[in-house]
Amino acid sequence: QHLLTIGDVIMKADELRQKTSDELVEALNAELKEQFKLRMQKSSGEFNQTHLLKLSRRNVAKIKTVMTEKTGA
């Protein structure tokens, strides 16, 4: 399963396109949970790697884009 981790933060659109709709929903939920954890760590002051927030936002956007492609286009 391809979820956001510190060592592997960038999701590839090609990899996402190979997933089923259920897998995309699962990946989106996992990414949103990870994003929430990162935001909480940042707000409490114990988080130095703020670039991970940007990557997480981009991953969410990629997942949503692929989901839209699969449903509409």
Residue of 3 and 66 predicted with greater confidence: 66
Please state, in angstroms and as integers, the Cα–Cα distance from residue 51 to each residue in 14, 24, 26, 58, following that order: 23, 23, 23, 11
d(CA 55, CA 13): 13
Q: What is the CA radius of gyration of the chain?
A: 13
Give yes or no for a contact between 35 and 60, defined as CB atoms under 8 angstroms apart: yes
Q: What is the pTM of this model?
A: 0.80
Taking the C-alpha atoms of residue 54 and residue 73, their distance in angstroms, rounded to an integer, is: 27
pLDDT digits (tens, 9 = 90+) for 7-65: 456 778 888 899 999 999 999 999 999 999 999 998 998 878 888 889 999 999 999 99
